[in-house]
Structure 1
Amino acid sequence: MDDFVFVDSSFDQNKTKEYNLSIQLGLDGFSFSILDSNKNCISLNAYTPFQDKSDSDPINSFKENLRNSTILNLPFQKVSVLWISQESILIPSEFFSPEFAHESYQLCHSLDKSEKLVWNKMKELDSWSVFSIPEAFKDLLESHYSNISLLHHTFPFLNTSLSQSKLENQPNVFVNVQKDFFHLIIPNPNRKHFINNFAYKEDTDLAYYILNIYKQQKLNNEKSKLILDGIIQEDSKVIQLLRKYLGQVEVRNLPSDLRMKDDIPQKEYNQFINLLNLSMCE
């Protein structure tokens, strides 16, 4: 059964071959959105958590959800999947090759025999994004959808951060927060961007890493704006904590042209920001 945040009145199940499907997927659960031919979001599905790992393997939970979903079994013009994980690397285009991707990735992360590497060109960074995905998920997705693109969840985050940074005079810090890790980019006009990721357990850990980065990168606590998105709310404890030390802290909202329903609070969309911003990056 599909649990929707909303479905626009223009949605037509007989016209899905004209629509694009975007799925945000990780080992804990998934959500998805549907865009029409004008890239307007006409359907957004709520986050669906998988069963506890001790009771069922995530891949079996995902298979069951696929089987029981009316929408996900319809034909689409294009399907994009954002894989959520902490592990990914960027390789400058001049050095990239499949062999170098495997060697470089395994210098930074372990690559299990049950995982496969995927890579995508990131034009804004003149680099390739390389990440791993369990082979079972990859095989299932590619067999279920013939016209699929597999992307790391930082793909839209990095692209939108770079595009927004061009309007700013001071170095800004962009952070995408996930359940127990976050990714960060400090865009640089000379293309010497600072990009990293960190695991965290408590709000204090998240705040500590961010403040330490400000210190290490010699950023101005008053002038360098901190912009966070993802699984984070304006009234969260970490936001309150960071505002004690930083002069400009904000939660990045969806662009006004992507906000679908005015009667749904903006904070309800925060967790879907990468999923919904994907349409602006492809």
Structure 2
Amino acid sequence: MENKEIFDETFDVNRSESYILTVQVSMEGISFCINDIVRGMYISLISSPFSSPLSESNDWANTVSQYISQFDILSLKYKKVLLCFESTLYTIVPTELFKPERAKELFELVHPLPNLHEIRFNHLAESKSTVIFAIPSSLTARWLTQQPQTHFYGYPSAQITYSSIVKTALDEPMVFTQFNKQFLINVITKNNQLQCCNSIPYHNTNDTAYHLINTCKLAGAEPSKSEISILGSVEDVNNLVLLLSQYFSNVLDSPNHDYHNYAYSIAKYKNSHWNLFNLLLCE
């Protein structure tokens, strides 16, 4: 994670109640951006790595307090505040079958609940699905003292919503793969209907290609008839595209489907912070 602090010249602390604050927390640091809903534009982007990576078992309260003190804009009053925690600790169920009182039970069918974590969930209207996820309790407790109206989202939420609204060819499988440093999340849809969502550890391009091909086949999607979109930032992306092109019908690096506007100084980061910027699609 790079240290950056960018504000468009139109940013005005006195207009914060017409802004939306979006926050993404990971083991390596925190990043957040501000969307001016009047202009429909992202006007600020900040990312700040921790002095040393944290773990899920850490007490996050002190770290959150430190960043709230460091960045005054985290204490402003906003129209909305959205927050996601970068993690593979999630599962997805159809909303029509979901019962809140069974959220923990459903989560533990897939993952053991780590100590000092709590279960949360969010509904995704476009895909008619519900993401159940775990997040450190000390993180949410401290954050809510500052921004009590925050909406929390499971990490794959933006990607699932995006895959549900982007235009696709009729009856052709679409693969949307989002990369970050430690893992990737793979979403497969057909006619904008969610078929599969899974997470895969990221090691190298050869392993990645193998897992993506295998996941498609397990989901009943033939790679040679499927288009794949690469989201987020990945090292050696040119070689990955070249390798995947041997197996998929089409490979899109940084696809042009974009539902946001960005200030000029921020636009060049829209791919490296793809999940952060697109979390707003879930609202």
Q: Same fold (TM over 0.5)?
A: yes
User: What letter matches 1:187 in structure 2?
Assistant: T
1: distance between equivalents of 2:58 and 2:220?
A: 45
Determine if contact 2:6/2:266 at 8 Å carries over to the other structure.
no
1:122-133 aligned within 5 A: 122-133=124-135
* Structure 2 match to 1:160: 162
Shift of 1:146: 2.0
**Is 1:196–2:211 an aligned residue pair?**
no
Aligned residue identity for 1:140? R
Matched, 1:11 2:11: yes
Match of 1:24 in 2: 24
AA at the equivalent of 1:105: F
Higher relative contact order (CA 8 A, sep 6+): 2
Can you list the C-alpha shifts for 1:12-46, whole angstroms capped at 9, x where unaligned? 1111122111101122211111111333211111x
Contact 1:116-1:134 within 8 A present in 2 as well: yes
Cross-structure match for 2:207? 205
Shift of 1:86: 0.7
The corresponding residue for 1:44 is 45
User: What is the CA–CA distance in structure 1 between the aligned matches of 2:169 and 2:77, rounded to whole Å?
Assistant: 39
Identical-pair percentage: 26
1:253: Cα distance to partner? Answer: 4.3
What displacement does 1:272 show? 1.4
In structure 2, relative to structure 1, the CA distance for the partners of 1:192 and 1:112 (3 Å cut) is: closer
Which consecutive unaligned segments of at least 5 residues does structure 2 have? none
Letter in 1 for 2:22: S
For the structure 1 residues 77 and 104, does the alpha-carbon distance in structure 2 shift closer, same or farther, using more than 3 Å as the test?
Answer: same
Count of residues in correspondence between the two structures: 278
What are the residue-to-residue correspondences of 1:25-174 with 2, within 5 Å? 25-38=25-38, 39-45=40-46, 47-53=47-53, 57=58, 59=60, 60-167=62-169, 169-174=171-176
- Whole-angstrom distance in 2 between the partners of 1:216 and 1:85: 23
Q: Distance in 2 between matches of 1:219 and 1:89?
A: 21
SS in 2 for 1:269: coil
* Contact 1:51–1:58, Cα closer than 8 Å, also in 2: no
Contact 2:86–2:155 under 8 Å retained in 1: yes
